[in-house]
Amino acid sequence: SDSSEGEGKDKLVMATNAEFPPYEYYEGDEIVGIDAEFAKAIADKLGAELSIEDMAFDSIIPAVQSGKADFAAAGITVTDERKTQVDFSDSYYTGRQVIIVSADNNDITKPEDLEGKKIGVQLGTTGDLYSSDDYGDENVERYNKGVEAVQALQQGKIDAVIIDDQPAQTFVKENEGLKILDTEYVEEAYAFCFKKGSDLTDKVNDAIAELKKDGTFDKIVEKYINA
Which residues form the interface with ligand ARG (CB under 6 A)? Answer: 16-17, 19-20, 24, 57, 74-77, 95, 122, 125-126, 164
| CA-angle at 103, arms to 171 and 56, nearest 5° | 25
SS3 state of residue 11: strand
What is the smallest separation between the CB atom of 8 and ligand ARG, expressed in angstroms? Answer: 31
Asked if 131 and 120 count as a contact pair (C-beta separation under 8 A), the reply is: no
What is the smallest separation between the CB atom of 37 and ligand ARG, expressed in angstroms? Answer: 14
Residue whose CB is less far from ligand ARG, 1 or 173:
173
Residue whose CB is less far from ligand ARG, 20 or 192:
20
Asked if 147 and 17 count as a contact pair (C-beta separation under 8 A), the reply is: no
Residue whose CB is less far from ligand ARG, 122 or 201:
122
Strand blocks (E) in 118-177: 119-122, 140-143, 160-164
Which residues, at least 6 apart from 199, have a Cβ–Cβ distance to it below 8 Å?
none
SS3 state of residue 190: strand
Residue whose CB is less far from ligand ARG, 105 or 132:
132
What is the smallest separation between the CB atom of 138 and ligand ARG, expressed in angstroms? Answer: 21
What is the smallest separation between the CB atom of 190 and ligand ARG, expressed in angstroms? Answer: 6
Residue whose CB is less far from ligand ARG, 94 or 109:
94
Asked if 113 and 212 count as a contact pair (C-beta separation under 8 A), the reply is: no
What is the smallest separation between the CB atom of 35 and ligand ARG, expressed in angstroms? Answer: 8
CA 72 to CA 63: how far, in whole Å? 9
